[in-house]
Amino acid sequence: MTKKEKEALLREQFSAMRQYEEELYSKDLHYIAGVDEVGRGPLAGPVVAVALVLPKDFSVIGINDSKKLSEKKRNEYFDIITTQALAYGIGIEDNFCIDDINILEATKSAMKKAISEANKNLMKTFETGIEHVLIDAVKLNDINIPQTSIIKGDEKSISIAAASIVAKVTRDRMMDEFHEKYPHYSFNKNKGYGTKAHYEGILGHGVCEIHRRSFLKKII
């Protein structure tokens, strides 16, 4: 595939991923937040959610589900997205919360925190709040903003995809910092997921402060 053909394909993908946003823009809505999370599956660390509002003229092609991008690309897009976003918010629930209320409820809580922060930041700058929320897969029952839950939303909505990138980079950087404190588990490489090196660290050194005990009941 030539460079020109690849760019054309990315532009086509970008256009397809704007369909949910364009439909809402056509209804005279201007401030649409995409919401996504990372960290539901790991054995350690927090779940991190991000809500962000992109400008209507956002036109950065190549953005996609964070899992489909290289670390280098995610970091590049992170800087672009956080600079160009009209507002964004980050919600975090730690391993203690996850163990206490379960991962799904912790995910919803992190999402609500992210939406609340993004809404406050939008109000500060534009004196108006989020008008609609596009959420990856999850439905939130107790927010006062209209919402659309989209299965595989990080592949279908540019706003959700952008949120997934910011969430992924944010959490990865947190896990890199945790690695400095807890070096036996290779958090800098596995980000808390259950790799061979991670399990070997648990078997050799036990669990640490950021492990999710509810995810490790069979081995602790």
Q: Is residue 167 part of a domain?
A: yes
Question: What is the per-residue pLDDT across 153-183, written as a single tens digit (0 to 9) for each?
Answer: 999 999 999 999 999 999 999 999 999 999 9
What's the number of domains the chain is made of?
A: 1
pLDDT band for 31, please (50, 70, 90 cuts): very high
What is the per-residue pLDDT for 6? 87
Helices (H), the chain: 3-16, 19-25, 71-84, 95-101, 103-126, 153-156, 158-181, 187-190, 196-205
C-alpha 78/C-alpha 67 separation (Å) is 14
What is the per-residue pLDDT for 37? 98
Question: How many angstroms from the chain centroid is the CA of residue 216?
Answer: 24
- Residue 158, domain extent: 3-173
Nearest Cα to Cα of residue 81 among 103, 62, 100, 109:
62
Q: Is residue 28 part of a domain?
A: yes
Q: Is residue 217 part of a domain?
A: no
Q: Is residue 55 part of a domain?
A: yes
pTM of the model: 0.96
Q: Is residue 200 part of a domain?
A: no
CATH code of residue 76: 3.30.420.10
Question: What is the per-residue pLDDT across 115-150, written as a single tens digit (0 to 9) for each?
Answer: 999 999 999 999 999 999 999 999 999 999 999 999
